[in-house]
């Protein structure tokens, strides 16, 4: 029987996301704190003559050619490290079919494509018996995209540069989130273009020290989450609101309900570049909050998530 390898990788939320003015290379400097969530995509890898992929679940209509990060991750790994395979296969003949099960929203600000790429790197390192270490996988991840290194790492991390330079952040607390999904995606490049058009961003983004202090601080349980809710922020909210008035309306409505004390949540913020909206709440109140949000916003889907969650790993 052909060997099958399964890897899993998490979605994410940016607890805080500060964005600077674009650099000479066109990228915006970021200062962010990532949290990995237990909403995960899986990649099942099996040896095959060529590199191919399929998708089930969310995003079944996505492209499955070499424009997809999964194929790009596989090709990068093959080109750079295929010669290290311990299989009785010529490096040029290495191939795999990659079956992706998607639960993370597409174009939703939760880095679903990055999670798929991270899971692919982990799966093929095992399937092709490449013997790569974590730093080698991280280097490949950073070439594929700004969020891929964190999908590999998981947990909580402070990210700078494009978000790929990571330092682990310690916290013993669990954070509960309701992720409010929008059926209409929002392009990350479009949000950054609108950010520039609006003239936003400092040359160096503000530090994320307040969030890191809360995460590592002495407050526990509900007190910890209340404090965290007071310091969450996302500099991409304004351009996302400009592009999508419907997203602005949802955020404003939730904030008004939180301020009135009728929603049982601590904070609301845009997740990454959106349009997914993240609502921070107590872990034991997530199900009731999700139901209430779906009542408030018919047609939207509320997904319960907790973090920090493990990064990309081999399931089997």
pLDDT digits 0-9 by tens, 203-243: 566 667 888 888 888 878 889 999 999 999 999 999 999 99
- All CATH 3.30.70.890 domain ranges of the chain, comma separated, are 175-307
Query: How far, in Å, CA of 231 to CA of 210, rounded?
Result: 7
pTM: 0.92
Nearest to 110 by CA among 215, 9, 247: 9
Annotated ligand binding at 110? The verdict is: yes
pLDDT (tens digit per residue) in 149-188: 999 999 999 999 888 899 999 888 999 999 999 888 899 8
- All CATH 3.30.230.10 domain ranges of the chain, comma separated, are 4-169
| CA dist list (Å): 157 to 36, 151, 168, 238, 305 | 9, 11, 4, 24, 18
Annotated ligand binding at 107? The verdict is: yes
Annotated ligand binding at 123? The verdict is: no
pLDDT of 1 over the 50 cut: no
Query: Which candidate in 12, 31, 102, 235 is catalytic?
Result: 12
pLDDT score, position 111: 92
**Torsions phi, psi for 313 (to 5 deg):** -150, 160
Annotated ligand binding at 298? The verdict is: no
- Mean per-residue pLDDT over the chain, rounded: 93
Domain 4-169 is of which CATH architecture? 2-Layer Sandwich (3.30)
Catalytic annotation present for 165: no
Q: Report percent pLDDT > 70 for the chain.
A: 98
- Residue carrying the six token digits 């929603």: 263
- Residue carrying the six token digits 């999904």: 181
Catalytic annotation present for 147: yes
pLDDT score, position 205: 66
Annotated ligand binding at 108? The verdict is: yes
Query: Which candidate in 79, 147, 165, 206 is catalytic?
Result: 147
| Domain 175-307, classified CATH 3.30.390.30, yes or no | no
């Amino acid at each position: 029987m052909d060997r099958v390898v399964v890897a899993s990788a998490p979605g994410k939320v940016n607890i805080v996301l500060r964005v600077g003015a674009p650099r000479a290379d066109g990228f915006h400097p970021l200062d962010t704190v990532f949290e990995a969530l237990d909403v995960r995509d899986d990649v099942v890898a099996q040896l095959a003559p060529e590199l191919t992929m399929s998708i089930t679940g969310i995003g079944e209509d996505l492209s499955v050619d070499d424009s997809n990060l999964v194929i790009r991750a596989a090709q990068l790994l093959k080109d750079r490290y295929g010669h290290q395979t311990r299989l009785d296969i010529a490096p040029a003949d290495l191939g795999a079919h990659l079956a992706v099960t998607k639960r993370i929203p597409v174009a939703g600000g939760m880095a679903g494509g990055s999670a798929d790429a991270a899971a692919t790197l982990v799966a093929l390192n095992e399937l092709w018996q490449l013997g790569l270490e974590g730093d080698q996988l991280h280097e490949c991840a950073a070439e594929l995209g700004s969020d891929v290194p964190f999908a590999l790492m998981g947990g909580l991390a402070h990210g700078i540069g494009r978000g790929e330079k990571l330092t682990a952040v310690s916290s013993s607390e669990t954070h509960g989130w309701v992720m409010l999904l929008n059926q209409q995606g929002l392009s990350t490049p479009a949000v950054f273009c609108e950010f520039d058009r609006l003239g936003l961003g400092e040359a160096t983004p503000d530090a994320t020290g307040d969030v890191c202090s809360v995460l590592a601080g002495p407050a526990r349980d509900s007190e910890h989450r209340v404090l965290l809710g007071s310091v969450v922020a996302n500099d991409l909210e304004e351009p996302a609101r400009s592009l999508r008035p419907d997203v602005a309306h949802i955020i404003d409505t939730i904030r008004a309900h939180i301020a009135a004390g009728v929603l049982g949540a601590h904070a609301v913020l845009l997740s990454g570049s959106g349009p997914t909206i993240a609502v921070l709440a107590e872990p034991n109140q997530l199900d009731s909050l999700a139901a209430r949000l779906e009542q408030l916003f018919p047609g939207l889907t509320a997904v319960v998530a907790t973090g920090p969650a493990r990064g990309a790993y081999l399931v089997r």
